Amino acid sequence: MTRDERLLLGRKYTGIKMNSSFGPVKVISCPAGTHRPTEKCVAGFGMTSPSPSGYFFKNRWSSSSCRTSNFFSAGAISRCLKGRNLKLMGDSTVRQWQETLLRVLKGLKYVKPYDTHYYALAADPQRNITVQWKMHGHPFVTGYNVVKDAVGYVAREVDRVAVGDVVVIGVGQHFRLFPLEIFVQRLINMRKAILRLHERSPQTLVIIKLENTREFTSEMTHMSDWFGLVQNLAQRKVFRDLKVVLVDAWDMTTAANTFAIHPNSIIVSNEIALALSHLCND
């Protein structure tokens, strides 16, 4: 790189507080219920959601597309998930869903053997709930030893999904270092697998969790949010005409001004609540 390019990518002036004097900001109140959607959350809404796709108020995310429900308590979550198998596929930002559910649902416990770096199964026998997380296949960037045969490509895992399972897919962070063509081809394979799944089980709910923003200090040349934004746009385009649900973690983390590859519990809890609003919309 040239000297000027290095200065630009060094982001010396990025994220710097601007000292300036601003006049008063007048906040105009609006009638109760204004801009609050009344439609139930159903698969398919996510791909055509407006931008922004929602807003935070008192640490609760409200979707711009549908009526989100209050799935934050152990009782509400367990009633929704009772008798269900939740299949989480992707990176550690999806594994956070399993970790959050384990923390909230006291009856949900890990089933041995498990390794939280590439595979983990949790179960609640009393309520007949299972939550499985499995790391997506290569490429991935990690400092841990991973058993190669223990991970699987998402498309192949979707082909193994049983009728009645709930599928959650979240990929992207580990692909930022590689050419976009690799990521798009992987998305196309996932799309074909979802179509095959819906041919044999039309009612199976498939949830796509978009990437979230990450640390400001991420290397600008190959790990920054610019690559995440492009990959999110690619996911919207590849999955837009499928009967799937979009959990817009990008808008959530942007709205909350969080800069962490693993968002805090408030963000993750709202991601789960939005997903369950589509699963249990009655």
At residue 32, the pLDDT reads: 62
The answer to whether the beta carbons of residues 175 and 90 sit under 8 Å apart is no
At residue 33, the pLDDT reads: 56
pLDDT surpassing 60 at residue 45: no
At residue 28, the pLDDT reads: 85
The answer to whether the beta carbons of residues 41 and 248 sit under 8 Å apart is no
Confidence bin at 48 (pLDDT 50/70/90): low
Confidence bin at 152 (pLDDT 50/70/90): confident
Average pLDDT, the chain: 91
At residue 86, the pLDDT reads: 98
At residue 25, the pLDDT reads: 86
The answer to whether the beta carbons of residues 90 and 137 sit under 8 Å apart is no
Ramachandran angles phi, psi of 254, nearest 5°: -70, -45
pLDDT surpassing 80 at residue 50: no
Confidence bin at 247 (pLDDT 50/70/90): very high
101: closest CA among 123, 126, 83, 69? Answer: 123
The pLDDT tens digits for 5-42 are 888 777 777 777 777 788 888 888 876 655 677 888 98
Q: Which two tokens stand for residue 99?
A: 């970790």
pTM for this prediction: 0.90
Confidence bin at 164 (pLDDT 50/70/90): confident
pLDDT surpassing 60 at residue 46: no
275: closest CA among 75, 80, 130? Answer: 80
More confident residue, 123 or 144: 123
Q: Which residue has the tokens 């649902």?
A: 105
The pLDDT tens digits for 173-206 are 999 999 999 999 999 999 999 999 999 999 999 9
Distance between CA atoms of residues 117 and 144, nearest Å? 7
Confidence bin at 51 (pLDDT 50/70/90): confident
How is the chain classified by DSSP, letter by letter? --HHHHHHHTTTTTTPPP-----PPPPPP--TTTT---SPP-TTSGGG--SS-EEEETTEEEESSS----TTSHHHHHHHHTT-EEEEEESHHHHHHHHHHHHH-TT-EEEEEEETTTEEEEEETTTTEEEEEEEB-S----SS---GGG-B-HHHHHHTPPTT-EEEEE--GGGTTS-HHHHHHHHHHHHHHHHHHHHH-TT--EEEE------TTS-TTTTSHHHHHHHHHHHHHHHTTSS-EEE-HHHHHHHTT---SS--HHHHHHHHHHHHHHHS--
Q: Could you tell me whether strands 109-115 and 119-124 are parallel, antiparallel, or unpaired per DSSP bridges?
A: antiparallel
At residue 205, the pLDDT reads: 96
The answer to whether the beta carbons of residues 250 and 229 sit under 8 Å apart is yes
The pLDDT tens digits for 71-117 are 999 999 999 999 999 999 999 999 999 999 999 999 999 999 888 88
At residue 18, the pLDDT reads: 77
Confidence bin at 243 (pLDDT 50/70/90): very high
